[in-house]
Structure 1
Amino acid sequence: MLDFLTTSNNLPFAVALAMMLMLSVLELLSFLFGASVSGFLDGLFDFDFDFEAGDADGSELAGHSLADRFMGWLHFGKVPVLILFATFLVSFGGIGLILQGVLRNTTGFMLPGWLAALAVFPLSLPAVRVFGSGLAKVLPKDETEVVSQESMVGRVATIVIGEAAQGSPAQARVRDARGRTHYVMLEPDEPGQRFKTGDSVLLIARSGAVFRAIRSDSPALSNPPT
């Protein structure tokens, strides 16, 4: 079995399953330290899809690029990015190993790794969509409703991992207007300033995936009641 997994023909699929295990361990460790890899990824990509890929008249699809429609079809923005990525890794790795196993048992040979990966990649995407669709229905609405990252500007965040400096952002935890927790990357707005773990800061602007913040030492600077 180990020889089957480690052969070069199955390398893409073994790597995918190994990445899945590594992500699981990383998420567990980050949770123990009060952070979240999943929350960071959701904040980093900030998907905002408010349409259904299956809309009959296409009115909801107007103005969206092909890439947006594809990501919406996979339920990005409705299900955490980490879960969808993990689903893809498991599907890709599992389908690939099954395909190679069937070929070996019936014909005595396996496809080259690169060719098998090209064949399995499109087969893995429907699995991501089906799982994402089911999970979007099961998760509480508050967990799946998209919140614009821009709405975080003006709120107080707490540094949870690392030390933030200009050009070297750190992860912080912030609550939105409904009291839900999000994880964002931020750096000081003022040159030479640093924020350490546990510091409370005020988000004042956003540039790409990184927020700019100022120190929030005043008790008056706190998130409004929800």
Structure 2
Amino acid sequence: MWELFTHPSNIVFSISLCLMFLFGLFEIVLTILGGGSQGFLDQFLPEDVGHNAELGVDADAGIVTRVLDWLYLGRIPLFVWLIIFLCVYSLLGFAIQAVVNQMTSMMFSAWIIAPACIFLCMPFVRFSAMLIARILPQDETTAIYSDELIGRTATIILGDARPQSPAQAKVKDQHGLTHYILVEPEQDEIFSQGQSVVLTQKTNVGFQATML
């Protein structure tokens, strides 16, 4: 195990693991002193990262913002996210190198495995950050993502909805709040004003739905 930790091919993972412990210790000390790293690094994030849900169902975010939001950046303190990343990145790197060494008695070059693990670890980082986000105390909000409306019943309130010709409808979310959206039939049918439909999927302008 110690040879795996000190091997030149794993130097990046060793440094990452050491940094993770140092940052974790720093966070614990700040917490004991009554502070914490909340907001310490978050000022470097784009303002809309982690707040897309607060913009409502019609919010439009850029690709960079979507990627950062997918990684749960902004939903937990950036310092905590960095600790998670360093931990997952280093452990995944060591695990891959250990398996390769067990099978071939060799290891990947640091120039290959170090950048590769950055991409490979991201799904695990997202999952870990998602779990931490559920544990950490959050400000209560009634804002939602538009995908959360899928499966709910909407009512056509203005005009008739036809394929490629949506009509306005209203739908209530899990908080009991009403949202006004555009709805079109998923099949070749017509939704009349006052008719209730079930939202099935998102479109570029609104939602598709089927008859209730």
What TM-score range do you get, normalising by the shorter chain?
A: 0.5 to 0.7
Distance 1:44 1:108 in 2: 43
- Specify which of 124, 127, 132 is matched with residue 121 of structure 2: 124
Q: Deviations over 1:102-161 (max 9, x none)?
A: 11110111011121112211111111211222333333332899xxxxxxxxxxxxxxxx
Query: Counterpart in 2 of 1:37?
Result: 37
Q: Deviations over 1:74-108 (max 9, x none)?
A: 11221121221111111110010010001111011
* Residues 1:20 and 2:24 aligned together: no
Q: Deviations over 1:7-26 (max 9, x none)?
A: 11001111111000010122
Distance 1:144 1:11 in 2: 43
* Residues 1:101 and 2:102 aligned together: no
CA contact (8 A) 1:12 1:114 kept: no
Aligned-pair identity in percent equals 28
- Specify which of 45, 65, 70 is matched with residue 67 of structure 2: 70
Q: Classify 1:69/1:40 alpha carbon distance in 2 versus 1 (closer, same or farther; 3 Å).
A: same
Per the normalisation by structure 1, the TM-score is 0.54
- The alignment of Structure 1 onto Structure 2 pairs a total of residues equal to 139
Q: Which amino acid aligns with 1:40?
A: F
Q: SS at the partner of 2:139?
A: helix
* Residues 1:83 and 2:84 aligned together: no
CA contact (8 A) 2:101 2:107 kept: yes
Distance 1:37 1:140 in 2: 14
| Between 123-132 and 33-42, the greater mean CA deviation after superposition | 33-42
Per the normalisation by structure 2, the TM-score is 0.57
Query: Which structure is richer in relative contact order (CA contacts within 8 A, separation 6 or more)?
Result: 1
Query: Counterpart in 1 of 2:52?
Result: 51
Q: SS at the partner of 2:22?
A: helix
Q: SS at the partner of 2:52?
A: coil
Distance 1:127 1:100 in 2: 17
Query: Counterpart in 2 of 1:206?
Result: none
Q: Classify 1:104/1:33 alpha carbon distance in 2 versus 1 (closer, same or farther; 3 Å).
A: same
Task: Structure 1 unaligned segments of length 5 or more: list them.
Answer: 53-57, 146-226
Larger radius of gyration: 2
Q: Classify 1:144/1:31 alpha carbon distance in 2 versus 1 (closer, same or farther; 3 Å).
A: farther
* Residues 1:142 and 2:143 aligned together: no
